[in-house]
Amino acid sequence: MENILYAPWRTEYVSGEKGGGCVFCHITEHPDLDEAHHVLYRDERCFIVMNRYPYTPGHFMIIPHHHTDALETLDSQTWLHMSHLAQRGVALLKEHFGAQGVNIGMNLGRAGGAGIAEHIHMHVVPRWSGDTNFITSIAETRVYSTDFDKIYIRLKAVSAEYFGV
């Protein structure tokens, strides 16, 4: 018997037309669309955006405005700022989202596993004991049981407290 798990929220990602240009640069260039893009925070160096296709609920990314695929060429002040935002993001996820742990990481280059290899970005992924189970490890399937927009609203409501105004 074949088991089928429907994930209609991924239809746009899998079959949607890919727009021209860098999706992260598009977000950088359109601060007027921050709510539509699910941006939690932005300043002169970086922005923080919810991952539209998350590993777990609450997964967001810290992205420099500067378009580069090479971390080694990113200016040190921006790198330090990204690290500071990650530190504050971990606090937010633990204190306001109940995360029991957090993964932070970057996939650099297509060979390194980056889905969007042309613009570096740092993933901040909340974790809970037992959030990996048979469906994740054996069926290679993720179940996202929480409404994405509600999570965005919840995290956005406290983001200024952690990242600044």
* Residue 138's pLDDT band (cuts 50, 70, 90): very low
Q: Which CATH class is domain 8-163?
A: alpha beta
Q: Is 121 marked active-site?
A: yes
* Residue 14's pLDDT band (cuts 50, 70, 90): very low
DSSP-derived 3-state class of residue 102: strand
Q: Are 162 and 89 in contact (CB under 8 A)?
A: yes
E-state strands within 78-155: 101-105, 122-127
- Residue type at 99 in one-letter notation: A
Q: How much is the pTM? A: 0.81
Of 149 and 37, the one with more pLDDT: 37
Of 3 and 108, the one with more pLDDT: 108
- Residue type at 60 in one-letter notation: F
Name the packing angle between helices 76-97 and 148-163 (round to 10°).
120
DSSP-derived 3-state class of residue 162: helix
Most trustworthy range by pLDDT among 19-23, 70-74, 131-135 = 70-74
Choose the catalytic residue: 38, 59, 119, 121.
121
Q: How far apart are the first and last CA of the chain?
A: 54
Dihedral sign of CA atoms 19, 24, 29, 33 in order: positive
Q: What is the pLDDT of residue 146?
A: 67
* Residue 145's pLDDT band (cuts 50, 70, 90): low
Q: What is the pLDDT of residue 3?
A: 45
Q: Are 146 and 118 in contact (CB under 8 A)?
A: no
